[in-house]
Structure 1
Amino acid sequence: MHKIVVLGAGYAGMAAAASLAARTKRRDDVEITVVNATERFTERLRLHQLATGQELADLHIPELLPRAEFVRGWVTDVDVDTRTVRVDDERDIAYDTLVHALGGVADTTAVPGADDHAHTLDSAHAAALLARRLSTLDAGTVAVCGGGLTGVEAAAEIAERHPHLAVVLLGRHEPGAELAPKARAYLDEALARLGVLVRGGTEIVKVLPDGVRLADGETVAVDVVLWTGGVRVPALARGLDVDGHGRIVTDEALRSVSHPNVYAVGDAAAVTQKYGVLHGTCQGGMPTGVHAALSIVRELNGKAPKRFRFGYLHLPVSIGRHDGVIQFTRPDGAPRRFALTGRRAVWYKETVSSAPWPTFRRMWAFPRSTAIWAHGGRYTR
């Protein structure tokens, strides 16, 4: 019996688990175990909505994995020498092949005070905590720290749902730096319409209980801080080669360079393409999960895994519930001239955000028709 263990059931982990389950359902020599902290699938693409009190669909992971054993628990340790995974109830789960898909969290260790005083969007629970805090404020200021797309979407959502609160977006770079000039200008105007105060070119050096201190000595008084700047991967797998952010360094087939029986996918992996290291998004995460599953099946059949190749398609950005920007890109992520804005962008973004769960269903029903295009990204084998 070949034991495959998938750690994490986010976008990348679910893509790997669903594809593996579908492609091995007629085999009796393969055992698949999926370990995740909750039975509910976390729509990370929508956590900024949950953070403002909106309800999300209740999606249950086990119902899509009838071929796999589901273990609910927090992974506390991965021993690559004994090939075992330990969960928080002291269970040890043995594996022959491991798919590491635990993903990343906001890097609140980068700035003093962020870990103690800032909210994050690391999980549905964290988003719900922020929603409860915002609901208690009749007035005040919310600082969103991090000018990347997560910070932009969160700032816009909070400003739209809580117009009585002042929202300031702080970051080293101007928001939408990845966009083409016209799309960036549209984003700036949309944030201004929502009343978001943008302060780019600012470096945060400390988060206080009631403020944010900047590198120039200024302290911005705030009531709530949301930290969206930077991502790190928790150090659980001792002995694996990792990069400076804790991501597992992979070979061209997504296997750990130090332990080839460990596949790393999604935010947990440092995947190098010709244009650089894949950045952690759902757009790239799901294709890595699918590729890992296909490679494992090839190895089970005595074949060598193929090289992973991926190209970006777009940068979808929601600006509240009624506006958005979709920047189409070249495979290396550079912006093309074409972009969608307004209602067309809203429809497009909603289609993208809703796509993963039906895709997981199709993987089980039609295992041989795994899409080359996976959730907005271009995946080629």
Structure 2
Amino acid sequence: MNTTTTRHEVLVMGAGYAGLGAAIQLAARTRKRGNLRVTLVNPYDTFTERLRLHMTATGQETAELNIPELLEGTGAEFVRGWVTAVDTAAKTVRIDDDRLLRYDTLVYGLGSIADTAPVPGADEHTHTLNSPEDAALLADRLTRLDGGNGGNGGNGGTVVVGGSGLTGIEAAAEIAERHPKLRVVLLGREEPGASMHPKAKAYLDTALARLGVRVRSGVEVVKVLPDRVELADGSRITAAAVLWTSGTRVSPLAAAAGLTVDERGRVVTDSALRSVSHPDVYAVGDAAAIRQGYGVMHGTCQGGMPTGVHAALSILRVLAGKEPKPFRFGYYHTPVSLGRNDAVVQFTRPDDSPRRIVLTGKRAAQYKETVTAAPWATFARMKKMPASGALWPHGGRHTRIRSAK
């Protein structure tokens, strides 16, 4: 890169945990150089704490985290808009007001949303936790049901949560605790906590039962109607509201742009997080298919932010004429909230298999609140770090990242 006459343009798409981590890391390390400009594009100017959307969905207030304020002083530019197209030949990104944003290096971090497409009626008749707006719509619906303006004549109604994964578990527990007049049914192919150590799973099962959550596992939803869900075994459940948390899908923009993607549409990367078909594109977070020794990473904020940081460091090494280092990541834990004052934390091996170590109850709830809040504090520390700062400047509570020497 000619440091006297040109400025390298890095465009980061998506201000989730991964994209924001990449943008701040790049800006913090180059803000005094003047030879690199970082632009971050996102539909909202507030950071979405996806780990807290189940709280928003039950009417609880969470902190409003402003992205432009966080970027102040870093030199990074924020552009608000929805990405509508990526042209890898012209190296441009189009947003919804028809502006074209140019890039030399692109960081693709558009994340994922709930996959309502496979089940007829799910897209039209279910709520999701895809955004704060979606969560707020569910909160309004639950409040009206709980207040007697819907459901069974003032006695609430049944809320079905489709999907027994971590999001479904946390949402079902939160709804049951905040709206005790509503009946909550958690549906899934697998039992909640099926991958946990027996001790953790037993605690989770007891907590859900205490909250009054009815669990039906080994079932498959085949159709969603305005007032019920129909199951593969021919049975049906009357529902005043349905929350869909079963599976995720990513934006089709990567495939449309000609990037090599996997069967789920995620960008396939090399060991440095570059697209295997377009090395000037880095993919991070849920939008990337990142292979480790134990398999392809699954989408969590635990892995998202480290991918953003590593992509930033890879970009800087390439621009300095060096080879990027391979990304190495190991999981550390699975924290699951069970209402506001209860939780279970399953500590894991790097491949995400359960260890015998489990934390439960109020201590687990406090632990989860601490690690949930940690990403924003980490972003703030990144912003202030010197160009020679540590690779991963956080307290080490919620991720384990191994970098090649």
Q: TM-score range by the shorter chain?
A: over 0.9
| Residue type of the alignment partner of 2:116 | T
Q: Return the index of the structure with the highest Cα Rg.
A: 2
Per the alignment, residue 83 of structure 1 pairs with 91
Alignment partner of 1:186 out of 200, 203, 211:
203
The whole-number CA distance in structure 1 between the counterparts of 2:172 and 2:100 is 41
Per the alignment, residue 354 of structure 1 pairs with 373
* Preserved contact between residue 356 and residue 375 of structure 1 (Cα < 8 Å): no
The whole-number CA distance in structure 2 between the counterparts of 1:17 and 1:127 is 27
Alignment of 1:117-136 (within 5 A): 117-136=125-144
The whole-number CA distance in structure 1 between the counterparts of 2:39 and 2:393 is 26
| Residue type of the alignment partner of 2:392 | A
The whole-number CA distance in structure 2 between the counterparts of 1:314 and 1:305 is 28
Per the alignment, residue 247 of structure 1 pairs with 266
Q: Does 1:11 align with 2:30?
A: no
* Preserved contact between residue 372 and residue 378 of structure 1 (Cα < 8 Å): no
The whole-number CA distance in structure 1 between the counterparts of 2:60 and 2:77 is 31
* Preserved contact between residue 35 and residue 73 of structure 1 (Cα < 8 Å): yes
The whole-number CA distance in structure 1 between the counterparts of 2:352 and 2:118 is 26
The whole-number CA distance in structure 1 between the counterparts of 2:373 and 2:323 is 34
Alignment of 1:103-122 (within 5 A): 103-122=111-130
Per the alignment, residue 279 of structure 1 pairs with 298
Q: How far off its partner does 1:219 sit?
A: 1.1
The whole-number CA distance in structure 1 between the counterparts of 2:263 and 2:397 is 28
Alignment partner of 2:341 out of 287, 312, 322:
322
The whole-number CA distance in structure 1 between the counterparts of 2:104 and 2:192 is 44
| Residue type of the alignment partner of 2:169 | V
Q: How far off its partner does 1:234 sit?
A: 1.1
Per the alignment, residue 207 of structure 1 pairs with 224
The whole-number CA distance in structure 2 between the counterparts of 1:329 and 1:135 is 37
The TM-score, its normalising length taken from structure 2, stands at: 0.93
Gaps of 5+ in 2: 1-6, 149-155
The whole-number CA distance in structure 2 between the counterparts of 1:370 and 1:60 is 25
| Residue type of the alignment partner of 2:104 | D
The whole-number CA distance in structure 2 between the counterparts of 1:35 and 1:183 is 40
| Residue type of the alignment partner of 1:195 | G
Q: Does 1:369 align with 2:390?
A: yes
Per the alignment, residue 92 of structure 1 pairs with 100
Per the alignment, residue 4 of structure 2 pairs with none
Q: Return 139-148 or 243-252, whichever deviates more.
A: 243-252
The whole-number CA distance in structure 2 between the counterparts of 1:241 and 1:105 is 20
The whole-number CA distance in structure 1 between the counterparts of 2:326 and 2:397 is 20
Gaps of 5+ in 1: none
* Preserved contact between residue 151 and residue 169 of structure 1 (Cα < 8 Å): yes
Q: How far off its partner does 1:14 sit?
A: 0.9
The TM-score, its normalising length taken from structure 1, stands at: 0.99
Q: Secondary structure at the match of 2:185?
A: strand
* Preserved contact between residue 284 and residue 310 of structure 1 (Cα < 8 Å): yes
Q: Secondary structure at the match of 2:326?
A: coil
* Preserved contact between residue 5 and residue 99 of structure 1 (Cα < 8 Å): yes
* Preserved contact between residue 309 and residue 392 of structure 2 (Cα < 8 Å): no
Q: Secondary structure at the match of 2:316?
A: helix
The whole-number CA distance in structure 2 between the counterparts of 1:204 and 1:221 is 13
Alignment partner of 1:303 out of 301, 316, 322:
322
Aligned-residue identity in percent? 65
Q: Rate the CA distance shift 1:372–1:180 in 2: closer, same or farther, 3 A.
A: farther
The whole-number CA distance in structure 1 between the counterparts of 2:184 and 2:223 is 19
Q: For each residue in 1:192-228, what CA deviation from the matched residue of structure 2 results, as whole angstroms up to 9, or x when unmatched?
A: 0000000011011111111111001111110100000
Q: Secondary structure at the match of 1:38?
A: coil
| Residue type of the alignment partner of 2:259 | L
Q: How far off its partner does 1:372 sit?
A: 6.6
Q: How far off its partner does 1:284 sit?
A: 0.3
Q: Secondary structure at the match of 1:369?
A: coil
Q: Secondary structure at the match of 2:205?
A: helix
* Preserved contact between residue 157 and residue 321 of structure 1 (Cα < 8 Å): yes
The whole-number CA distance in structure 1 between the counterparts of 2:236 and 2:247 is 21
Q: Secondary structure at the match of 1:340?
A: strand
* Preserved contact between residue 378 and residue 393 of structure 2 (Cα < 8 Å): no
Q: How far off its partner does 1:375 sit?
A: 5.7
| Residue type of the alignment partner of 1:263 | Y
Q: For each residue in 1:297-352, what CA deviation from the matched residue of structure 2 results, as whole angstroms up to 9, or x when unmatched?
A: 11111111110000000000000001000000000000000100001101100001
The whole-number CA distance in structure 2 between the counterparts of 1:253 and 1:207 is 42
The whole-number CA distance in structure 2 between the counterparts of 1:372 and 1:354 is 15
Q: How far off its partner does 1:63 sit?
A: 1.4
Q: How far off its partner does 1:369 sit?
A: 2.3
Q: For each residue in 1:143-183, what CA deviation from the matched residue of structure 2 results, as whole angstroms up to 9, or x when unmatched?
A: 00000000000000000000000000000000001210010
The whole-number CA distance in structure 1 between the counterparts of 2:268 and 2:194 is 27
The whole-number CA distance in structure 1 between the counterparts of 2:277 and 2:335 is 35
Alignment partner of 2:33 out of 20, 27, 43:
27
Q: For each residue in 1:222-244, what CA deviation from the matched residue of structure 2 results, as whole angstroms up to 9, or x when unmatched?
A: 01000000011011132011112
Alignment partner of 1:2 out of 3, 8, 24:
8
Alignment of 1:58-77 (within 5 A): 58-66=64-72, 67-77=75-85
* Preserved contact between residue 19 and residue 363 of structure 1 (Cα < 8 Å): yes
Q: For each residue in 1:230-285, what CA deviation from the matched residue of structure 2 results, as whole angstroms up to 9, or x when unmatched?
A: 01101113201111211111111111111011000000001010101101000000
* Preserved contact between residue 58 and residue 175 of structure 2 (Cα < 8 Å): yes
| Residue type of the alignment partner of 1:213 | E
The whole-number CA distance in structure 2 between the counterparts of 1:375 and 1:140 is 40
